[in-house]
Amino acid sequence: MNTPPESARRPDDGLAQNAFRGGLLEQVQGLPEAWREALSAPHLQSILGKLDAMLEQRLAQGAQIFPLRPFRALIEIPPEDVQIVIVGQDPYHGPNQAQGLAFSVPDFCPTPPSLRNMFKELALEYGEPAAPQRNSLVRWARQGVLLLNTSLTVEAHQPASHARQGWEHVTDALIMRVLREPRPKVLLLWGSHAQARQALLETQPAHGPVHVLRANHPSPLSALRPPRPFIGCGHFQAANEWLQTHGEAGVDWMLARTPAAAPGYGG
């Protein structure tokens, strides 16, 4: 991957607050034990080492990479507390957007189109909220929603720039770790990248009940298209109804505030 020439760089390419600053392996070592163990297999350690080297090389070449903490989603929730897994593609590639949680941006950011469609679907299912939804989805993560992208890093203004670099093996291992838990769980698979993860259920049968719901990606390019339009899919209510029939509380999708303190990019 070549460094873009100066003429191709945008005027907002100064170091963003949420820019990755290196030290991927150190971040892995700082993960909670259950997640760290999920990444301990030799082949995964080799992949993480190659990702670390790739990221350091791109930083040295002047690339700006997001987010600051690629594993943020794992900090918010241990595998045994996961009720729902939502799989995205890769982080937002604009400065000061990606938080390390799929689809989520800080509240001060404009609402990205995919997240706007998620809020539109929620309004269809639950009615319009009294106040606008907050863009930070930390409140969902702390209720048991694992917001995991397939690739955990991206370069500024270059969507999918770190796809097929090894991240998919890492994130698949994290999903498989969740599947080892006996707790009932729902997989919300939106779009082809996410739906490819369903094959993991054949690789490693789940230890507890699993319900899979599939639809198109919430992006405006696909949200209304067949065969499974995202708008009108009813997934948020359907996930809760299934969880509640299996003795779980489900998620308050319309919760207005984040439980406990909610730092922006790196806390």
Rounded Cα distance between 126 and 129, Å, is: 8
Tokens of 160: 């999918």
Q: What is the pLDDT of residue 22?
A: 95
Numbers of helices and strands, H then E, in the chain: 10, 6
The b-or-e profile of 20-41 (16+ CB within 10 A means b, else e) is beeebbebbeeeeeebeebbee
pLDDT tens for each residue of 61-92: 999 999 999 999 999 999 999 999 999 999 99
Instruction: Dump strand ranges (E) for the chain.
Output: 65-66, 84-88, 145-149, 154-155, 185-190, 210-215
pLDDT tens for each residue of 146-186: 999 999 999 999 998 999 999 999 999 999 999 999 999 99
Q: Is residue 100 a contact partner of residue 71, using CB atoms and an 8 Å limit?
A: yes
Query: Looking at the annotation, which residues are catalytic?
Result: 90
Mean pLDDT of 177-201: 92
- Of residues 132 and 181, more confidently modeled: 181
Q: Say how many residues make up the chain.
A: 267
> φ and ψ at 59, to 5 degrees?
-60, -45
